[in-house]
């Protein structure tokens, strides 16, 4: 059981970094010929989903590795994901074929804010997971 718990703790810590790395890799590639969008502003939805996943990964890591309240976890995850969105947009300024767009960052932050809703509606989940992985409990 201890080995499984340690594996989960490591995976939770690495998940946000791995996801952020995937975001960086995707935004570092120059855009080629784009397919016409069937849905206007579909890219904003993609930004929201990608950064929603990032904030969820951050929140899970914080739930497992801290004893923080659900609100503190959610706000921290939102702020970190949103700040990463800012750095990603700045980075894209230097990538040929890419551009920096304020609305992309707004979509990033909107997606990241979904974790706030999850924390408010699923606070019991945050509490049960944090109790299960509390540093105070024996392994």
**Which residue positions in the chain have pLDDT lower than 50?**
33, 139
What local confidence, expressed as pLDDT, does residue 33 receive? 47
What is the pTM (predicted TM-score) of this model? 0.84
What pLDDT sits at residue 11? Answer: 93
Distance CA 3, CA 123 (A): 27
**Tokens encoding 47:** 């930004």
- State pLDDT tens for residues 67-90: 888 889 989 999 999 999 999 999
What Cα–Cα distance (Å) separates residue 73 from each residue in 36, 116, 127? Answer: 39, 9, 11
| 10-29 residues labelled b (16+ CB within 10 A) or e (exposed) | eebeebbeebbeebeeebee
Instruction: Give residue 135's pLDDT.
Output: 58
């Amino acid at each position: 059981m201890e080995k499984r718990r340690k594996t989960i703790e490591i995976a939770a810590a690495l998940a946000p970094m791995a996801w952020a790395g995937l975001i960086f890799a995707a935004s570092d590639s120059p855009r080629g010929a784009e397919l016409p969008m069937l849905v206007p502003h579909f890219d904003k939805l993609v930004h929201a989903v990608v950064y929603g996943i990032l904030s969820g990964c951050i929140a899970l890591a914080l739930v497992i590795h801290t004893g923080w309240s659900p609100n503190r976890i959610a706000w921290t995850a939102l702020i970190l994901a949103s700040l990463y969105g800012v750095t990603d947009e700045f980075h894209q300024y230097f990538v040929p074929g890419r551009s920096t767009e304020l609305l992309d960052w707004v979509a990033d932050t909107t997606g990241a804010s979904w974790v706030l809703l999850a924390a408010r509606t699923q606070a019991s989940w945050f509490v049960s997971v944090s109790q299960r992985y509390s540093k105070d409990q024996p392994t």
